[in-house]
Structure 1
Amino acid sequence: MAPTFYHDDPKWSNIKPIPQNDTARPLAAIAYTDEYSEAMSYLRAVMAKNEYSHRVLGLTDHIISMNPAHYTIWLYRFKVLSELHADLREEIAWLNVTALKHLKNYQIWHHRQTVIDKLGSPEGEADFIATMLQQDTKNYHVWSYRQFLVQRFGLFDDEGELKWTEGMIEEDVRNNSAWNHRYFLVFGGKGEQTADKAIVERELNYAKAAIKKAPQNQSSWNYLRGVVRRNKLPTSTLKDFALEFADIEKPDDVTSSYALDTLADIYTEYQSKREEAKKALDLLATRYDPVRAHYWNYRKRLLE
């Protein structure tokens, strides 16, 4: 694609570009392209005049296409949209295309939050998020944005949102982002208070069912233990369940190092069970998680 320049465009003839004010011999000059340098010179000029117009909107579009990480451009773009009383649904449509070109760009998502916040409606956002997650199911920016929508529009108790997280987990039980979103959805709106007993029981059973499908999946074990800790239940609540996957008396039959870790924590809580805790940590260090042997041995030394 041929570069776009403004110096020979009659629509911009009334603007005197302001070049970047570098020192005569900059220590580490950035090698901008001529196209980018000129576009930024025109942007500085219109910003100095506080111009909010459709041509400036097009200019920000052009610069973003070359450098979507330039935070100042996004701020000025939103100011232009606000001053023009622009149709923000059109901006969302433009963002949909732009985001797919730059999957890992933070500024795009911050801008989207600002636009959706002003619109006051999450309509269509679930479909767009689904499209983005098809490209990368664990894109941090997408999941953070989903949490913003939950918080902004009070979706903590939304059944559809909960069903959606279940679908994501069923698709990939090891998707830690999906587990994290479920935890935020179920417990994020409750502050410090413990959840209803029925909800806690539901979440414990949900995590246990997922663990039975994939015992060596850290995400579901973390969720299970997070629910216990978050709702101030004793770790020993999980003892019988953990024994289904690990028993220090049957070291050859261990099917989950995370169950073994859970048992080590449970046994550590009781002075009379410290030897059992050491056995569990020994098994982790020597057989079931030797990559982290130093960590397990450190845990064992703490018991002594």
Structure 2
Amino acid sequence: MHSRKKRTQPPTPEEIAKEKARLQKMQELHTAVFASMEAQDLSTDAFDLTTRAIRTSSDIYTFFNYRRQILLKLFEETPEDQLPALLKKELDLLGGIIKESPKSYTLWFHRQWILQRCKNLTDIMERELKLCEYMLNKDNRNFHCWDYRTWFVKFAGTESLQDELLFTDSMILRDFSNFSAWHYRTKVVKQIYTGEIPDEFVRSELGRLKNAYFTCPMDQSIWNYHRWLLNQKEPIMITGISPREFEETPKCFIIGFSHNIKGINENSIGVSQGWEPLQGTWEPLYTQPFSYIWKFTPSQSAPGDIEFRLSPINTELTDINGHKKLTSLQYKFKKTENKSEFSVEGQEDATFFESELESIDELLRIEEDDRSQAVLRKAQLLETLSFMNSEKGNIDQIIASYQELIRIDYRRAPFYRESLSVYNAIKNKSAESSPIVSRKMLAKILGFIDLNQ
């Protein structure tokens, strides 16, 4: 177990006897509780019995279910003005047990159940947050407590989300590698900004992150938040299509996307041939309802260039995280001589991505040892830029980044080799024989690989 010292000496006879006696008493207590449950006893004596039981066995949900039955009866019998005292007493009991068993699902759930019966949350708001701070000071990665705090702040609805943002500041400054604090920050940010996150906030966060990754360049928690933050600014784009060229309009098109999406229809992606809309049906491949790869089957064919355009007023297409921002790039099949070739026109605003790429390059110029996380993030940013700007030539840099990662981070080499195969295929316009497992990666080389293989 975590933080538990390994014993080097065998237990003494006295210790063995003491442990046997403790287990015997616990078994007798459990037997008594089950007998009381069988008799459907909802008396105060049964309530006291469950108190002893949950103090010694805080993970047995059956005891808490039984205790809640008794509490419901007590609530009915207790005068209205005395209910707050009864609820406070239960919260005090749970607070003491939680400090001894901080990672018990049943304890945290039972505390939620009690709070849902409290009418004046203002009186207990400060105390609940202080309990969370106390528990997180003892173990700043206790996800039970982080989940409880998330639930309580949303449930109470009186705590300022800006205060919660400041709370994550304090936890992160105490330990940059606190993954739970960074993850909680994403939840708070999405609650504050229910739509698109403002540019000024993103700039502020990127400045904070630069200080963090220059201090701890190998910390994965920092880079995870960095990736999440910039993903909010990355539009949903087409990354691959099959076929990439044709002489006669094919019966269907297989289209790869940058995100795992659902909700494609004529209101989210417009397809046209010449000046006329091209009607057809969309269906996800491999997985559903979310998929990186979709099939479009036209219902008719007419002369003229074929174009796919993602709708700027989309309300239906969304990725698996609720992201709805669509690219303004135009994806066209233009006729040249006897065939139509796929092309991409336009470019997205890539200011944030280019600025961060410069910062990471700055870090890599001075960091000789702890490089793998920064090199991986560089490769990911280059990948994004390669699809946001049709004129950006990043392929050689992406390939060089994955080649370096294979050398310096052998444990994740299979993942890097798959990415390397994908970008070699894009560069050479021909896929290698090695299989691509990731659907997201496969979506990028459609037209360079036979999906029937």
Same fold (TM over 0.5): yes
**How far off is 1:152 after superposition?**
1.1
User: Which residue matches 2:170?
Assistant: 167
Unaligned 5+ runs, structure 1: 1-31
In structure 2, give the amino acid aligned to 1:228.
Answer: L
Q: Which one has the bigger strand percentage?
A: 2
User: Which ranges in structure 2 are unaligned for 5 or more consecutive residues?
Assistant: 1-21, 76-82, 236-348, 387-391, 426-453
After superposition, the Cα gap between the structure-2 partners of 1:144 and 1:37, relative to the gap in structure 1 and judged at 3 Å, is: same
Give the Å deviation of 1:34: 4.3
| Aligned position for 1:73 | 63
Query: Residues 265-290 of structure 1: CA distance to partner in whole angstroms, max 9, x if unpaired?
Result: 23334273211111011111113x23
Structure 1 residues 80-95: aligned runs within 5 Å: 80-85=70-75, 87-95=86-94
2:161 touches 2:192 (CA, 8 Å); kept in 1? no
- TM-score w.r.t. the length of structure 2 is 0.54
Give the root-mean-square deviation of aligned CA atoms: 2.9
Is residue 43 of structure 2 the alignment partner of residue 40 of structure 1? no
Residue 292, structure 1, aligned to residue 295, structure 2? no
TM (normalized to structure 1)?
Answer: 0.78
The one-character-per-residue Cα deviations of 1:104-149 (angstroms, maximum 9, x if unpaired) are 2111111111112222523301111122122211111111111111
Whether the 8 Å contact between 1:92 and 1:112 is mirrored in structure 2 is yes
Tell me how far 1:42 sits from its aligned partner: 3.2
Cα distance in structure 2, aligned partners of 1:235 and 1:265? 14
Q: Tell which structure's C-alpha radius of gyration is larger.
A: 2
1:275 pairs with 2:396: yes
Matches within 5 A, 1:1-304: 33-85=23-75, 87-120=86-119, 121=121, 122-154=125-157, 157-188=160-191, 193-232=195-234, 237-246=352-361, 256-269=371-384, 270=386, 272-287=393-408, 289-303=409-423, 304=425
Q: C-alpha deviations, 1:56-110, integer Å up to 9, x for none?
A: 2210122223321110111221232232135111111111111111122111111
1:106 to 1:165, Cα distance in 2 relative to 1, 3 A: same
Give a deviation string over 1:14-45, Cα, whole Å, max 9, x none.
Answer: xxxxxxxxxxxxxxxxxx95434433343334
CA distance in 2, matches of 1:200, 1:241: 11
Conserved 8 A contact 2:214-2:363: no
Following the alignment from structure 1 to structure 2, what is the Cα–Cα distance between the partners of residues 82 and 158?
A: 33
Higher relative contact order structure (alpha carbons within 8 Å, sequence separation ≥ 6):
2
Q: Distance in 1 between matches of 2:43 and 2:422?
A: 66
- Higher normalized helix content (fraction of residues): 1
100-109 or 41-50: bigger deviation: 41-50
8 A contact 2:213–2:223 mirrored in 1: yes
C-alpha separation in 2, matches of 1:257 and 1:267: 15
Instruction: Name the stretch that deviates more: 256-265 or 161-170.
Output: 256-265
**What is the aligned partner in structure 2 of residue 7 from structure 1?**
none
Q: How much has 1:49 moved relative to structure 2?
A: 4.3
- Following superposition, the deviation at residue 50 of structure 1 comes to 3.6
* Letter of the 2:353 counterpart: L
Closer, same or farther in 2 for the Cα pair 1:154/1:89, shift >3 Å? same
- Hey, what's the Cα distance between the residues in 2 that align with 1:113 and 1:235? 44
